[in-house]
Amino acid sequence: MLNYYVHFTWNNGREMASWPHIEKLYEMDDGDEGFKMIKKLADEHVLKKKIKKMKVKNAAQVFYYQVQDVMRGLIKNGNTNLPPAAIGTAKLFLFMNKLVTNARFD
């Protein structure tokens, strides 16, 4: 996902997810005056040059449910800094989070 768009089907429609949507969300959530919407994300989670690719924990935190919640909320409330296509990224993250949290390893 860092280098290519992810294309997938969601409710019989075509969707697309891209890393630049995550970078833009992170840039918008700059933590002015100590307020940050997504506290778990840091440079090493989002910025390509700082990502520790062998850290599964960091990758999992990007798919944290709050990322897609904030992204969806901003898009649905008309935030113009995120493109409407970012809803596809939010949907993919929702799916990934549900996949991980509902996984059973019996």
pLDDT score for 35: 81
Name the average pLDDT for the chain. 84
Query: Domain extents for the chain?
Result: 6-101
pLDDT score for 78: 82
Predicted TM-score (pTM) of this structure: 0.82
Q: Is the pLDDT of residue 53 over 70?
A: yes
47 Cβ contact partners less than 8 Å away, ≥ 6 residues apart: 23, 26
Q: Is the pLDDT of residue 106 over 60?
A: no
Cα 96 to Cα 7, 14, 26, 72, 91, distances in angstroms: 14, 17, 19, 15, 9
Task: Give the helix, strand, coil percentages of the chain, each rounded to 5.
Answer: 50, 10, 40
Q: What is the pLDDT of residues 70-91, one digit of tens each?
A: 898 888 888 778 888 899 999 9
